[in-house]
Amino acid sequence: MADVAQLVILGLLAGGVYVAVGVGFGLVWGVLNIVNLAHGALVIVGGYLTWQLFTDLHLDPFLTLPVNAVALFVLGYALQRGVINRIIRAPLLFTFLLTFGLNLVIVNVLLLIFGSDFRSVTPAYSGEGLELGSVVIPYVRLISLAVAILLAASLAFILNRTRIGLAINAIAADRDAAQLVGIDLRHAYGVTYGLGAACAGVAGGLIAMIQAITPTAGEPYTLQAFVVVILGGLGRVSATVVGGLAFGLVEAFGQSLPGSGSVFANAIAFGLMVVVLVTRPQGIMGRLR
């Protein structure tokens, strides 16, 4: 039984990262109808920001997260206004290819700047943890989970309680009607993508504390974000939170199976996704739209 408890705790902690990665991806997908293949690259941009600030200015890595959010928001807003808005009415293959192209550019620019060495962020408390019986929970992981939940809550607050958030919701419901009532679509699209990028930036900061990062380390996260959003159900932040935690649990249990290991992470993720898509396409928490 202790093993199961340990797996549940590990799974939920790992799920925190998936929640952080998933919420931004789900927002962009749900509102803009873009599967953002550059999401993982934006995550890693956040990771390098945290690493740079931690190494040069000796900032506590958790304090760099707001910086990431602001910087990535600006980058995301600029990308949407300058590039993605130009093909938003094209068939989905084009937005798909466009975001892949952006991913290629961002990843290789990072390679030019930082090289392909592994970088990790290790604050003084990174080795310490909370002892619960036989289980040790690293503080970093615990705070990361809390930050991820806080991030999701803030995003839900922005979407449901602020003027621009309501505008974004209106666009998700009906783009043309939203335009009719006077919402500036270009700006609102920019803000939506910016918010998605900001979430990615925060997620990247968390990831840099948990694993060593390279410019290409973000690619698995794009795919996993997709699975998380499918798992929870598209269209609500709370559903993505459930999806992220559920994904963490599935991964933890999947990796504990005999004869398996972390090498099958993607195979497990996609097997799960295909099963969910075929049996329950609206996700665990989703409503049919």
Partner 1 sequence: MIARTESSARWKRAFVILGAAVAAYALLAPLTSLDAVQSAGVPLLADRLWFRLATIIAMFVVMATAWNIIGGITGYAAFGNVAFFGIGAYTTGMLIAKAKWPFLLSLPLAPVLSSAFAALIGIPLLRLRGHYFAVASLGVGVAVGELVQNIDYAGQPLFGGATGLFLPIDAIDNRGLFFFYLMCGAAAISIAVTWLVLRSRFGYGLIAIRENEDAAAVIGVNTTAYKVAAFALAAALTGLAGGIFSQWNVFINQENSFPIEYNVQMILMALLGGTGTIFGPAAGAVLLQLLIQFLGGTLPISFEIPFVSETVRPILAQVILGLLLVMVVIFVPRGVIDFFGGRSRLSLSSLRRSLRDTSL
CA angle, corner 279, sides to 269 and 21, nearest 5?
Answer: 35
Using the rule CB under 8 A, which residue among 85, 120, 154, 211 binds partner 1?
Answer: 85
Lay out the site mask for partner 1 across 270-289 (x = CB under 8 A, - = otherwise): xx-xx--xx--x--------
Using the rule CB under 8 A, which residue among 63, 267, 280, 287 binds partner 1?
Answer: 267
Nearer to partner 1, 133 or 258 (CB): 258
Nearer to partner 1, 195 or 268 (CB): 268
Taking a C-beta distance cutoff of 8 angstroms, is the pair 150, 65 a contact? no
What is the pairing mode between strands 135-138 and 129-132? antiparallel
Beta carbon of residue 63, minimum distance to partner 1 (angstroms, whole number): 32
Q: Report d(CA 126, CA 25) in Å as an integer.
A: 28
Distances (CA, A) of 30 to 156, 193, 194: 14, 11, 14
Span of 117-125, 133-141, 222-230, 241-249 interacting with partner 1 by CB under 8 A:
222-230
Q: Does 48 bind partner 1 (CB under 8 A)?
A: no
Q: Quote the DSSP letter at residue 84.
A: G
Q: Quote the DSSP letter at residue 257.
A: S
> How many residues at the interface with partner 1, by CB under 8 A?
49
Taking a C-beta distance cutoff of 8 angstroms, is the pair 9, 135 a contact? yes
Q: Does 223 bind partner 1 (CB under 8 A)?
A: yes
Beta carbon of residue 95, minimum distance to partner 1 (angstroms, whole number): 8
Q: Report d(CA 239, CA 40) in Å as an integer.
A: 20
Q: Does 259 bind partner 1 (CB under 8 A)?
A: yes
Q: How many of the other CB atoms lie within 10 Å of CB of 167? A: 21
131 strand-pairing partners: 136
H helix or E strand, kind and range, residue 200: helix 185-210
Using the rule CB under 8 A, which residue among 86, 280, 287, 289 binds partner 1?
Answer: 86
Where does this chain bind partner 1 (CB under 8 A)? 29, 33, 35, 83, 85-90, 92-94, 96-98, 100-105, 107-109, 111-112, 185-186, 189, 219, 223, 226-227, 230, 259, 261, 263-264, 266-267, 269-271, 273-274, 277-278, 281
